[in-house]
A and B are shown apart, each in its own frame.
Chain A
Amino acid sequence: MSSAYDPSQPARRPGGKPGQQPSYRVLVHKKFKRHYDQLVDKVGIQQAQQFWDHLANNPGEPSAVASITILRGKAGKPWAENWSRVHHYELTSKARADYAYCDVFTTGPGDEPHRVVSILTINYGSH
């Protein structure tokens, strides 16, 4: 295949496929599923994928591209055993999301523990 520029070929998708197998299964609260579906339109593909990649690979680490704050008070507390505190991720000045993660999530006795990250809320618009 030629590497020359081919005007009939679409541009590569920004971000492309994940470079590695995700460590966490990413979930979104059903009340914010509609917001999640608007993510690419609201912030662009690159920032949407950076957000997802952060959640899927290292949700407990700082991000090089976004500001992360741990929520305070009852809103920031883990809602169940083994869950993290609630993290607030600023995708842009007008888009932010809250999430929590669990490294040993099981759905029942005998279930293999696995890693899950849950997006609790998403909101658009400036503060």
Chain B
Amino acid sequence: MTSTIFQASDLANQKRVDFLSQARAGRARLRDKDGTSLVMLPESHLLWLETMAQWSSVHLRLEGVIRRATLPTVSELGDLAWLRAFDIDDLTEFVEELHEALVVSNADQNPSRLEECVNAWRVTARQLEDPLRRSVLLGAPSISDFDDAPRPDASLPDDEEP
């Protein structure tokens, strides 16, 4: 990483090319006229940092909840209220997977593993919202609970099939 510190006036001269080049490479530093230190970096890098910060904080919060071994209330969950669909065992599993995803995303400098993990749990929570779906997904179905599902067709008469 370069230690060059650009001046605000450099953005108006030939040095802006170097400034942008360093920003694209990861980080470019600039000292504003009032002495404020500014940094420019690729947006993808900023998104990664923001995602890591957000979910690291969530992880810490949930670890505390799990340690208590009682289900958190909706107000305790706050913006994570979608997690109310899960029991304490599932919440523990979520926290463990979140921890692993944080480690991988940090190592890769890419939030995709973290996003994939959270998305899968959100999708599951949505499926469990409905009582009928919940009863099937959390039940123990037997083969007698199922019927054949024929291939959908446009209901044309057989003699008009291609």
Interface positions of A (Cβ within 8 A of B): 9-10, 12-14, 16-18, 22, 25-33, 36, 39-40, 45, 48-49, 52-53, 56, 69-76, 79-80, 86, 88, 98, 105, 107, 116, 118-121, 123, 127
Contact = CB atoms under 8 A, between A and B. Distances in A.
A29 B146 contact: yes
23 contacts: A10-B160, A13-B156, A13-B162, A16-B161, A25-B148, A27-B146, A27-B149, A30-B146, A30-B147, A45-B152, A45-B153, A53-B151, A70-B120, A71-B127, A72-B90, A72-B120, A73-B121, A75-B134, A98-B127, A105-B143, A119-B149, A121-B127, A121-B136
Query: For chain A, what secondary structure do more than half of its interface residues adopt (helix, strand, loop), or is it mixed?
Result: mixed
Interface residues of B, number: 41
Contacts of A40: 152-154
B126 interface: yes
B46 interface: no
A105 B141 CA distance: 14
Contacts of B124: 71-73, 75-76, 88
Contact of A88 (B123, B130, B138, B154): B123
The interface centre, meaning the residue of A39, A40, A79 with most chain B CB atoms within 10 A of its CB, is A79
Interface of B: 86-87, 89-90, 93-94, 97, 119-121, 123-124, 126-128, 130, 132-141, 143, 145-154, 156, 160-162
B147 A72 contact: no
B147 A18 contact: no
Given A13-B156, A98-B127, A127-B126, 11 more contacts: A12-B162, A14-B154, A26-B150, A29-B141, A39-B152, A69-B123, A71-B137, A73-B86, A73-B89, A73-B93, A123-B127
A116 B139 CA distance: 19
Contacts, number: 123
B89 to A, nearest CB: 7
Contact of A52 (B121, B133, B140, B151): B151
